[in-house]
Amino acid sequence: MLRRIVGIETEYGITFSLKGQRRLSPDEVSRFLFRRVVAWGRSSNVFLENGSRLYLDVGSHPEYATAECDDLRDLVAQDKAGEAILRELVGYAQQQLVDEGVRGDIFLFKNNTDSSGNSYGCHENYCIERVDDLSRLEEVFIPFLVSRQIFAGAGKIVTSPRGSVYSMSQRAEHIWESISSATTRSRPIINTRDEPHADPERYRRLHVIVGDSNMNEFATFLKVGTAAVLLAMIEDRTTVLRDFTLASPINALRDISYDLWSKEPVKLQNGRDMTALEIQDDLCERATSFVESRDVPADQREAVRLWREVIDTYRHDPMSLADRVDWIAKLQLIERAREREGLALGDPRIALIDLLYHDTSMERGLHYRRQARGHARRMVGDEEIARAATTPPATTRAHLRGTFIRTAKEWRRDYTVDWVHLKLNDELQRTVLLKDPFRSSDERFNKLLYSMERREPHPWRD
């Protein structure tokens, strides 16, 4: 599979405070945040006109799942549109609190850990061919995910028995298994719960749990693009790939996270030792040969080209990747503050930098302040993000879902949707089942739309 459906689910951290003192619980803040969402769809779990899903997850975490994308720039725009949509909700909720006389500020963070040690995720979804043999994933894809921290990590100060130390990944300390059907009880690198949200005879949804939430557009583009190419190589049985099966994937995940400059090797099951950089370098070299000999989409070709650029730069001058890699950008901010003010890594003021890097506010957020100064490489423009907040990708099933929702709202028709179903809640209960996520047109859908538009508008049912 060369053309591939991809998506990202992001859980956000939320808090409300006045002068550093928490005044409302996350649950209370979330109720204010989702008042407008409930007004949109009479529920705190809704699909939006851009084809995405927005809901309140366990632990009072707002979660945004992008629409299905088959283009990496669409995915980046959809991911950033999620931030924009939630920023709008924060502004609305903030005004509601002011009107009710509640003083303080709502903070929405796109990160993966809180001050209590809890972790919340950024999950990647890849549509793959229906296959029950996952051995090649263990041999190649898991080592790729474990070692890609060098460009995909979001960075984190971790308190350890040795004191405060800086790590590449926020999620590394919270992953406990290699492959599992669980998601919270024992978080795995890859979740195997079989929910394809598509034709189960043809497709499987590969659910990647291990990734960090990225603020940098480049990092999002690269981590998903390289994974998509590698999956194509795994599915193509003629492509020769080395067996990188790790002796202990979880230990390797954590060891690599603390080995910022990729100096220490991790042990493979075959007895060899390799660094994260060596694993990535080998996979990138093979991916380069693969895209040169296959009709790979242009955006994935670009991802492989940028992969090589990042690996070579990381090898010779890693700090110059601060415009592209989140953990390096954050480390640069931290080290400059420490040098300027003589602070220890464990100082609360450094912890504040660690947190504010992920603030989604365009004014407060340290990533966005860097971006405004031209210190973060963009992959999409502000206009593309604004368009993605209201418009679904045109080339996938999301186009049908978004069009259906928009039209139903215009005609004030009661409806129910999920990833696969479009249903009109009227006397006939007409439903269209969309089992192919690659299809952006469907005659059954056209008939459903026509049946909706030819009737006079009427109020929502109670």
Question: pLDDT (tens digit, 9 = 90+) per residue, 2-41?
Answer: 999 999 999 999 999 887 777 888 889 998 999 988 877 6
Domain boundaries, the chain: 6-387, 397-453
Residue 301's pLDDT is 98
Residue 402's pLDDT is 98
Neighbours of 113 (CB within 10 A): 22
Residue 57's pLDDT is 86
Which has the closest alpha carbon to 151: 317, 310, 377, 301? 310
Question: pLDDT (tens digit, 9 = 90+) per residue, 145-194?
Answer: 999 999 999 999 998 888 999 999 999 999 999 998 765 567 899 998 88
Which has the closest alpha carbon to 171: 110, 112, 123? 112
Share of the chain above pLDDT 70, in %: 97
Q: Judging by DSSP bridges, how do beta strands 156-160 and 163-167 pair with one another?
A: antiparallel
Which has the closest alpha carbon to 57: 15, 13, 96? 13
Question: pLDDT (tens digit, 9 = 90+) per residue, 386-416?
Answer: 999 999 999 999 999 999 999 999 999 999 9
- Cα(74)–Cα(58) distance, rounded to whole angstroms? 28
Residue 462's pLDDT is 29
**Domain 6-387 annotated CATH 3.20.20:** no
Neighbours of 130 (CB within 10 A): 13
Residue 454's pLDDT is 66
Question: pLDDT (tens digit, 9 = 90+) per residue, 104-114?
Answer: 999 999 999 98
User: Which residues, at least 6 apart from 18, have a Cβ–Cβ distance to it below 8 Å?
Assistant: 103, 104, 105
Active-site residue among 57, 105, 282, 436?
57
Exposure string of 330-356, with b = 16+ CB inside 10 Å and e = fewer, is: bbbbbeebbeeeeeebebeebbebbbb
> In sequence order, what E strands does 185-293 have?
188-191, 203-208, 266-267, 273-274
Long-range Cβ pairs for the range 286-289 (8 Å, 24+): 286/233, 286/239, 286/240, 286/241, 287/226, 287/229, 287/230, 287/233
**Mean pLDDT (the chain, rounded):** 93
Q: What is the dihedral of CA 131, 132, 138, 140, to 10 degrees?
A: -10
Active-site residue flag, 273: no
Which alpha helices (H) appear in 294-360, and where do they start and end?
Answer: 298-316, 326-341, 348-356
Which has the closest alpha carbon to 182: 172, 195, 192? 192
Long-range Cβ pairs for the range 332-339 (8 Å, 24+): 333/357, 333/366, 333/370, 334/157, 334/166
Weakly modelled stretches of the chain, pLDDT under 50: 456-462
How far is residue 147 from each of residues 139, 319, 398, 431, measured CA to CA in Å? 13, 18, 32, 44
- 8 A C-beta contact, residue 32 and residue 89: no
